[in-house]
Amino acid sequence: MKSLIENRFSLLALVLVALLALYGVASATRPGAEAGAAQGLRRVPVASVTVVCPDPGDTDAAVVTPPGGQDAGTATLVTGDTTVETLRTPGTLWHEKIPAKSAPLVVSARASMAAGLEASQTRRETSGKHRGLAGVRCTEPTADTWLVGPGPAAADVTLYLANPDLAQATVEITVYAGEGPVVADSGDVIVMGPGESRAIDLKEIAPSPLVMAVGIRTAAGRVTAAARAITHGGKGVDWLPVSAPPATRVVVPAIPGGGGDRQLLVASMAETDTLVEIRAITSDGTYALKGKEVLEVPAESVATMDLSSAIADRPSALVLTSETPILAGVMVTGTGKKPDVAFTAGAAPIDLGSVVADNHTGGDKGARLVLSAPETAGRVSVRVLPRKGEAPEPFEVDIPAARTKQVSLPKVDGPFGVLVLPVQGSGPVYGGRVMDERVKKGLALTIQPLAAARVWALVPPTTESVDVVFGDD
């Protein structure tokens, strides 16, 4: 018996020595770059992504993945029960017209086609109630989305929801107006099955607001959310970009110059009134707007301020600060007898880069980046991703500290994507792509704020510990 016990302890000792040796070798041979990454959040390549274009019928859909992926991958484009295309080549733009009355376009990508994948839809109309340019970034499903823009009293606003996941989603819709929170008579909770999509006329939920903020949250599951606003009186149409979550500091980028109206919308969900300080970032510097330094926002409401005379003549961004979290956006109206409308909203800096899938230049069409560096100076590289032909040489853009800079995109034969990457050492950069076209009696335009590219995911660090091997009991 004694011999058996001694043999067991000898065996255990050998196992412990072997495990400790293995742990030591793994620690010694691990690359130094990973050791540094463990100090904070680390970046890992995105392995899969799904995005939804909300209402692609009779629009130009664009899908692109930046070059650089190593493993073979695919991006599958599906509308309803129809597979539109399967893409396998990063760096090449796919751009096609989607038939009218098509279901939402679901783009599912994996491996090399997932990292950085971007999709958008754009509709161009020269007459009728849809007259103008209306573009929107196709978004991934989330549990929380915010939108800011005109209400049903000023526009026909349709909310598009889609559940591309395999699980059921329970959706709660909250609307804040100038008069306060809106309670829907018909209920504001929707249950959506896997693969289900819905188009909701927000007039049925909140018929009276002139301006509003809409929160779409899920108690279970995830959905994509997008809203299109067709302004009353033929003043244009566009999609409301997804807003950054409520925060005490909000940067609203990509406000173009060139004349027309500029209306600031600020929403507060706090139960007390809040004062919002407003500063503009222009090519001349950062400063408070004379006579428009502060906006008071009533509790649980949306307030507006006309900034047309202050910033309409130059490209700019706005920095808003308050003691309570807020949402913000700007409604931009173009020039001409029949102007178009466009929207921008609070956004995050493009620390991981950004991609815009659909751009057009040449003739009466123009596209430009409006970039702002609210703090220290910024520098970005810009790379064109064409549908066909040779791509122009990438170029770099310097944005002075506390300034906004507008950069015209090069003339390219046909549609193209654009990749914007911060250069090492750059300060935080915010921005957006403005696209416009000269049409009869006016200027059609649309704005897409730059969103973080789906190139990397930030994950918490892992900590080496023998507890992983031996447990912590």
Nearest by Cα to 108 from 147, 166, 159: 166
Nearest by Cα to 214 from 137, 155, 168: 155
The DSSP element (H or E) to which 228 belongs, if any, is: strand 224-231
Nearest by Cα to 399 from 428, 359, 435, 432: 428
Strands 60-64 and 94-97: antiparallel
CB neighbour list of residue 29: distance below 8 Å, 6 or more residues apart: none
Residuewise pLDDT in 10s, the chain (473 residues):
444 334 433 433 333 333 333 333 333 333 333 333 334 677 777 889 999 999 999 999 999 999 986 678 999 999 999 999 999 999 999 999 999 999 999 999 999 999 999 999 999 988 878 889 999 999 999 999 999 999 999 999 999 999 999 999 999 999 999 999 996 544 578 999 999 999 999 999 999 999 999 999 999 999 999 999 999 988 899 999 999 999 999 999 999 998 899 999 999 999 999 999 999 999 999 999 989 999 999 999 999 999 999 998 899 999 999 999 999 999 999 888 888 999 999 999 999 899 999 999 999 999 999 999 999 999 999 999 999 988 999 999 999 999 999 999 999 999 999 999 999 999 999 999 999 998 888 889 999 999 999 877 767 776 554 444 444 44
Nearest by Cα to 325 from 472, 470, 144, 134: 144
Residue 168 vs residues 55, 138, 159, 194, 334: alpha-carbon distances, Å: 21, 21, 19, 5, 41
CB neighbour list of residue 378: distance below 8 Å, 6 or more residues apart: 371, 398, 399, 422, 426, 427, 428, 429
Nearest by Cα to 244 from 147, 331, 172: 147
Q: Residue 350: what residue type?
A: I
Residue 445 vs residues 99, 127, 222, 333, 465: alpha-carbon distances, Å: 23, 14, 31, 9, 56
CB neighbour list of residue 390: distance below 8 Å, 6 or more residues apart: none
DSSP bridge pairs for 383: 419
Are the C-beta atoms of residues 157 and 227 closer than 8 Å to each other? yes
First to last CA, the chain: 29
DSSP bridge pairs for 421: 381
Residue position matching structure tokens 């807020």: 326
Per-residue pLDDT, 470 = 44
CB neighbour list of residue 372: distance below 8 Å, 6 or more residues apart: 251, 253, 281, 316, 317, 399, 403, 404, 405, 429, 430, 431
Distance between CA atoms of 361 and 412, rounded to whole angstroms?
6
CB neighbour list of residue 335: distance below 8 Å, 6 or more residues apart: 258, 259, 260, 442, 443
Q: Report which DSSP code applies to 5.
A: H
Distance between CA atoms of 428 and 372, rounded to whole angstroms?
9
Distance between CA atoms of 197 and 200, rounded to whole angstroms?
10
Nearest by Cα to 188 from 209, 223, 215: 215
Per-residue pLDDT, 40 = 64
Residue position matching structure tokens 């091997």: 469
Delimit the domains of the chain by residue range.
47-457
* 113 φ/ψ angles, rounded to the nearest 5 degrees: -85, -5
